[in-house]
């Protein structure tokens, strides 16, 4: 919404993008996404002429920015009242927000960004999970920018259970191309007709689930209480942040 507000005041994509810390392309991508999500276009681009060129909010865009401002003011007033009554409100609200998030991914982790390694096309983002385990994700430069990822920011990592490979045992990390290897103890096995869900308990109270074949469970001799590794590529990790 900050991008829309700056477009409303500057009538310039470039100026609005600079004000909110986005590239020109990322700003246009965000505008196109917002136009798609809205019931009517929020931003229009005008060619030069009597009224001059540039980018302007539509009537619907101006209405939405006004509504957001009013809601934000009321929300801040409400949060100030709660802060006066409830200790650790910000932390509790972040946890509640994560608990109410619905996705198709079986594995959800919360962590703090500890390092971002820039690459020629993509960036490697490292998180430190609450249990102390490191987790790496490969995402585009644009995603890092749009999500506002930087060291110290809290982020959520999503990994589908079908993307996780299970290996028995513990000890030193295996020499594999997969960047992430989380070691723990098998908490339970939930067999189905073809596949089994393997849930591995990690230190600090986290757990990771994998879907593997029943045959693999037998061949690897997996059982509750045994040590095992959950292995997945950094490119299989989806990152998200709270609004």
Mean pLDDT (whole number) for 5-22: 90
Report d(CA 78, CA 89) in Å as an integer: 12
- What the block records as the tokens of 143 is 């995603």
Going along the chain from its start, the domains and CATH numbers come out as 2-66 (1.10.10.10), 161-236 (2.40.50.100)
pLDDT of residue 77: 78
pLDDT 10s digits, 66-84 = 998 888 888 777 777 777 7
Q: Which residue has the higher pLDDT, 1 or 198?
A: 198
pLDDT 10s digits, 114-163 = 999 998 889 999 999 878 899 999 999 888 988 889 999 989 889 999 99
Tokens 């932390």, residue located:
91
pLDDT of residue 93: 61
92 pLDDT above the threshold of 80:
no
Least reliable range by pLDDT among 7-16, 28-37, 152-161, 195-204: 28-37
Tokens 């295996």, residue located:
174
pTM of the model: 0.63
pLDDT of residue 113: 96
H or E stretch covering 125? strand 122-129
Q: How large a percentage of the chain has pLDDT more than 90? A: 44
pLDDT 10s digits, 190-229 = 999 999 999 999 887 788 999 999 999 999 999 999 999 9
Cβ-Cβ contacts under 8 Å for 13 (sequence gap 6 or more): 7, 24, 27, 28, 31, 45, 55
pLDDT of residue 18: 92
């Amino acid at each position: 919404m900050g991008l829309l507000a700056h477009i409303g005041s500057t009538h310039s994509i470039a100026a609005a993008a600079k004000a909110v810390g986005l590239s020109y392309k990322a700003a246009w991508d965000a505008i196109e996404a917002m136009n798609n999500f809205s019931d009517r276009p929020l931003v229009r681009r005008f060619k030069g002429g009597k009224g001059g060129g540039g980018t302007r909010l539509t009537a619907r865009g101006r209405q939405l920015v006004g509504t957001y401002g009013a809601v934000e003011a009321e929300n801040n007033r409400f949060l100030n009242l709660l802060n006066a009554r409830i200790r650790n409100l910000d932390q509790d609200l972040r946890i509640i927000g994560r608990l109410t998030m619905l996705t198709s991914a079986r594995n959800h982790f919360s962590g703090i960004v500890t390092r971002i390694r820039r690459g020629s096309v993509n960036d490697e983002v490292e998180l430190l999970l609450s249990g102390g385990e490191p987790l790496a994700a490969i995402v585009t430069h644009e995603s890092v920018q749009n999500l506002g990822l930087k060291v110290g920011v809290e982020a959520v990592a999503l990994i589908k259970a079908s993307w996780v490979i299970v290996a028995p045992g513990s000890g030193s990390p295996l020499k594999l191309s997969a960047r992430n290897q989380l070691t723990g103890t098998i908490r339970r096995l939930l067999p189905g007709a073809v596949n089994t869900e393997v849930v591995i308990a990690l230190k600090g109270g986290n757990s990771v689930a994998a879907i593997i074949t029943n045959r693999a469970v037998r061949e690897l001799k997996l059982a509750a209480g045994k040590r095992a590794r959950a292995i997945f590529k950094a490119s299989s990790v989806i990152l998200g942040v709270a609004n």
